[in-house]
Amino acid sequence: MIVVMERDATEEQIQKVVSRLEREGFQVHLSRGVTRTIIGAVGDKGHLQRESLEAMEGVEKVVPVLRPYKLAAREFRPENTVVRLRQGVEIGGEAIQVIAGPCAVESFEQLLVTAEAVKASGATILRGGAFKPRTSPYSFQGLEEEGLRLLAQARAATGLPVVTEVMDPRSVPLVAEYADVLQVGARNMQNFYLLREVGAAKKPVLLKRGPSATIEEWMLAAEYIMSAGNDQIILCERGIRTFENATRNTLDLSAVPLVKSLSHLPVFVDPSHGTGRWELVTPMALAAVAAGADGVMIEVHPNPDEALSDGPQSLKPDKFAQLMRQLTRVATAVGRTLGQIAVCSA
């Protein structure tokens, strides 16, 4: 349930409601908005009557949440969640942020060339895989910890915050030591042990939608992270599996406005994995922003033909620069701006 406090509710009144809920066995989450405080209570309401809570001083109303996910629901937090990273990067606000970089970290030269190129074109976050979940055990699996160190070096050189995937609950502390954002990939969206661990890590999490996941299942995966105490979540639509085989996946852009109506969490779109074809990445990225996405995630590689992972869906730096110019126009048309990175200080 959600307890909506009155606009002028005092801190003492808020704490009395919190104490009452905790005595009744509820897990309590506070959401302090600009005008009022909302208290989310998760648990079995048992004998606790809604009327008795509404009779408490400072309480405006009590609203039951009928959806299976509670903390991720917009009823719990009417205002949009804004995820804040280093260098002034804010995800979920007015500015649209662009994550860009290679699918896999292959070498420092490859990573730095790409990082400098995407930053010059306006990207605000660097992506790169150090641990790579691959369908075949014989495919390149990533440089692992060495890849993490290279990402940290690229961040130091460019000032770009770093997002990289974590695959195993046991490696969460290691990845969190290097990364600004922990990515939970599509294959791990329902790895519930991993979701709990990244929730406990208290670092921003980019949660990709599973290839066969419904939107409700996706929201419940976010709920796992939030129930562990971490509300800094970025949802990422990256295509779902359908009967169509002309593209790698079917990019579900209808999910963007739908999820933003259901949840307060920011939503990104990954048109690279969503289509699997570089020539489709730009039009789908533009469509994502037009549909209301808070950002896009683009794979960029200086030599896609030689990429160790996902070359066919990677843009060359010059194509990425063209995408960013077009993205600026679309963002302006829908009343938004493109994010900017603060000047890097050594």
Read off the pLDDT of each residue in 230-259 and give the average, rounded to a whole number.
Answer: 97
pLDDT at 343: 61
Residue 31 structure tokens: 């959401």
Q: Which residue has the tokens 């290097």?
A: 178
**Whole-number average pLDDT of the chain:** 93
Q: Cα Rg for the chain, rounded, in angstroms?
A: 21
Share of the chain above pLDDT 90, in %: 81
Residue 280 has a CB neighbour count (10 Å cut-off) of 18
168, pLDDT greater than 80:
yes
pLDDT at 345: 43
Residue 246 has a CB neighbour count (10 Å cut-off) of 9
Residue 229 has a CB neighbour count (10 Å cut-off) of 13
Any idea which fold 83-338 has? Answer: TIM Barrel (3.20.20)
Which one has a higher pLDDT value, 134 or 267?
267
295, pLDDT greater than 80:
yes
Backbone torsions φ then ψ of 259, nearest 5 degrees: -65, -35
Instruction: Measure the CA–CA gap between 335 and 346, rounded to whole angstroms.
Output: 34
DSSP 8-state code for residue 344: P
pLDDT at 142: 78
CATH number for 2-63: choose from 3.40.50.150, 3.30.70.1140, 3.50.50.60, 3.30.230.10: 3.30.70.1140
Measured over all CA atoms, what is the biggest interatomic distance in the chain, rounded to whole angstroms?
Answer: 67
346, pLDDT greater than 60:
no
Strand 267-269 to strand 295-299: parallel, antiparallel, or no bridges (unpaired)? parallel
Nearest to 58 by CA among 77, 39, 31, 79: 39
Tally of helices (H runs) and strands (E runs) in the chain:
11, 15
**In the chain, where does the domain assigned CATH 3.20.20.70 lie?**
83-338
156, pLDDT greater than 50:
yes
The answer to whether 208 and 185 are in contact (CB under 8 A) is yes
Which one has a higher pLDDT value, 13 or 75?
13
Share of the chain above pLDDT 70, in %: 97
Which one has a higher pLDDT value, 38 or 214?
214
pLDDT band at 46 (very low <50, low <70, confident <90, very high): low
310, pLDDT greater than 50:
yes
**In the chain, where does the domain assigned CATH 3.30.70.1140 lie?**
2-63
